[in-house]
Amino acid sequence: MSSSSTIDAAPAAAADRTRSTAPPAGPAPAAPLPAPVTDPARGLHEGHLHRGPEVAAVLHTEVDVEAYTRSGPARLPVDAEALAAEAPLTPPQRLALRVLQRLEASALAESRAMLATWTGNEARITAFLATWMVWRRWQSRALRDLLALDAERQTRPDPEPPAPSPSARLRRVHVDRVQPLLAPAWTALAGEEVTAGHMARTALQESWLRTALRALAPTLPPTARALVTEVAAGHDDAVAFFVAEARARVTRSRGEARTARLVLALDSPAHGGGVPDPELPAALAVIAADPAVRADLRRDAEEITRLLPLRPLTPRGLRTSPLLPLPTIGA
């Protein structure tokens, strides 16, 4: 072999060795992700805004909020044909259902009062409320559809509700005009503690609704009974969440317990959106005529109120309670 061929072969062999040892062609490795930013001057701690080492972690109870947000609430249909084949509702039953339907429909007003305060900063609560409002919307719609279909078979229209009392009219003005101005001020002073009051109030309202619906359902015709029973079951997850949140908060600090007591003293959870229903006393006379039902309502209230200072319930029962006013019913 000539010297020229040997020289020419050397670069080719070197190139072959380079090709055999080079890594296979492919996408370039991804750049490492940036670490979460911690900058106290900007209010950032490990990538979270408004969090710092001195701020406690978000309260977590045993309720699976993520599963609840995937529960997919939908409209509850009313079987019109089956309903038409059964006896119509009686006037007392319609009265009770009207009041419960209006209380079910008050979820938007209730959530507005919560989200305008510190409670709106609680991620688990706001996530739960987003689905909870949809559940309450469809539950109120189901009761409204039931009443509308039953009204077509009634020989006389429902009587007009009693005119609001002067105190109820003043309460409406307060809720519409005054409360939006005052609530942000005092709740800002209370800070995170106000959330305990909101959770206690909503826990009592949800428990009250579920117990009232369960008490009324057995007295109704079969189709209405099945629907009202389903609406009552729709409150199960909400009762579990709000009771767990309220208990965890009012038991972890005296400040939260006192604030919860204040929130409950300001208004009854049976007043949807903070405004008394003029037909509430008459509806309670129908719903809670049975002593066993009154005992259930009392247990619902004591689930939360027994943990608070200066408990509003008395040994006589619910007659003097600002939580569940029963003005026409003895205990």
Q: What is the pLDDT along the chain (331 residues), one digit of tens a residue?
A: 444 444 444 444 444 444 445 555 555 666 666 666 677 666 565 655 554 454 455 777 888 999 999 987 888 999 999 999 999 999 999 999 999 999 999 999 899 888 888 888 888 999 999 999 999 999 999 999 999 999 999 888 888 878 777 877 777 776 777 766 776 776 777 778 899 999 999 999 999 999 999 999 999 999 999 999 999 999 999 999 999 999 999 998 898 999 998 888 888 898 988 888 999 989 999 999 899 998 898 888 888 888 888 654 433 333 334 334 333 333 3
Would you list the DSSP string of 49-66? ET--TTSPPPP--SS-HH
What's the confidence (pLDDT) of residue 126? 93
Instruction: Give the distance from CA 9 to its chain's centroid.
Output: 81
Q: 103: closest CA among 319, 277, 232?
A: 277
Q: 258: closest CA among 194, 205, 203?
A: 194
What's the confidence (pLDDT) of residue 117? 84
Q: How many CA atoms lie within 13 A of 281 on its CB side?
A: 10
What's the confidence (pLDDT) of residue 319? 38
What's the confidence (pLDDT) of residue 131? 95
Residues 6+ positions from 238 with CB-CB distance below 8 Å: 132, 135, 202, 206
The encoded tokens of residue 308 equal 């608070």
What's the confidence (pLDDT) of residue 137? 95
What's the confidence (pLDDT) of residue 81? 94
pTM above 0.85, yes or no: no
Phi, psi angles (nearest 5°) of residue 317: 110, -140
What's the confidence (pLDDT) of residue 159? 83
What's the confidence (pLDDT) of residue 318? 36
C-alpha distances (whole Å) from 254 to each of 195, 258, 263, 268, 328 are: 13, 6, 14, 22, 34
What's the confidence (pLDDT) of residue 150? 95
What's the confidence (pLDDT) of residue 115? 87
What's the confidence (pLDDT) of residue 326? 35
The encoded tokens of residue 73 equal 């609430």
Angle at the Cα of 197 from the Cα atoms of 97 and 274, rounded to 5 degrees:
40
In the CATH scheme, what is the code of domain 88-158+179-331? Answer: 1.10.620
Contact 281, 303 (CB under 8 A): no
